Amino acid sequence: MANTFLIILTYVSASLTSPMYFFLSNLACLDIVYTSTTSPKLINIFVIARGQISFVGCMVQLYFFIAFGSTEYFLLTVMSFDRYVAICKPLHYTLMMSKQACLYGALGSWLGGLVASIPITTVTSTLDYCNSNVINHFFCDITALINLACSNTTIIQTVILIQGVLLVMTSFFSHSYILY
C-alpha cells in the first residue's frame, strides 16, 4: 500500500517531479513486483497445506526473482549517480539529469535486469534433476535447485559467479567514479 501511495503521490504532486522522486517511484514499483514473484505462491502454500509448483512455474518464478533483484541493483546504481550529480555538479544537474536521461536510466535498469536473468534461468532449466524433487523453500531458490541437480553444476556456478562479478563491478566502478 505504501509503495502504491508513493507512486501515485509522485505523479499527482507537481512538487515531486524531480529525478530523485522519479527513481523513487521506480524503486517502489520494483518493490511491488519483486515481492509479487514469491508471495502468491507463499500464500498458496499457507492456504492449501500442500504447496506444489510445476517445473515451468519454478523457472518463471526464478527468472523474475533474479530479474527484479538485478534490476534493483542497476536502479540503485543509477540513483546514486543522480545524487552524485545533484551534490557535486548542481549547476549541471538539470542538463545531465534531464527527463530523457532519467527515462533512459530507468529503462536501462529494467531491461538490464530482465536480460541479466536469462543466462542463469536458461542454464538452470537445462540441468538434470533426480532424487527428491522437493525444495524446502517457499520459492524456487537457485541454490536449492543446484542442490537438487544430479548433473554437473559447474556451468551454472560459473555463470552465477561471472554475472555476480559483473554486477558488483558495475556498481563498484560507478561508485568509485562518484567518490573520485
Mean pLDDT of 33-58: 80
Average pLDDT, the chain: 86
**Coil, strand or helix: which one is 136?**
coil
pLDDT in the model for residue 62: 92
Q: What is the pLDDT of residues 83-94, one digit of tens each?
A: 888 988 899 998
Q: Using CA atoms, how far apart are residues 124 and 153, in angstroms rounded to an integer?
A: 9
Q: Using CA atoms, how far apart are residues 74 and 168, in angstroms rounded to an integer?
A: 10
Number of Cβ atoms within 10 Å of the Cβ of 174 = 16
Rg (CA), the chain: 19
**Coil, strand or helix: which one is 151?**
coil
177: confidence class by pLDDT, cuts 50, 70, 90: low
Q: What is the pLDDT of residues 113-126, one digit of tens each?
A: 999 999 999 999 88
Q: What is the pLDDT of residues 120-169, one digit of tens each?
A: 999 998 888 876 666 767 778 888 888 888 888 889 999 999 988 888 88
180: confidence class by pLDDT, cuts 50, 70, 90: low
Furthest-apart CA atoms within the chain: distance in Å: 62
pLDDT in the model for residue 64: 95
Grid coordinates 531458490 are at which residue? 141
The CATH code belonging to domain 2-179 is 1.20.1070.10
pLDDT > 90? residue 26: yes
pLDDT in the model for residue 29: 93
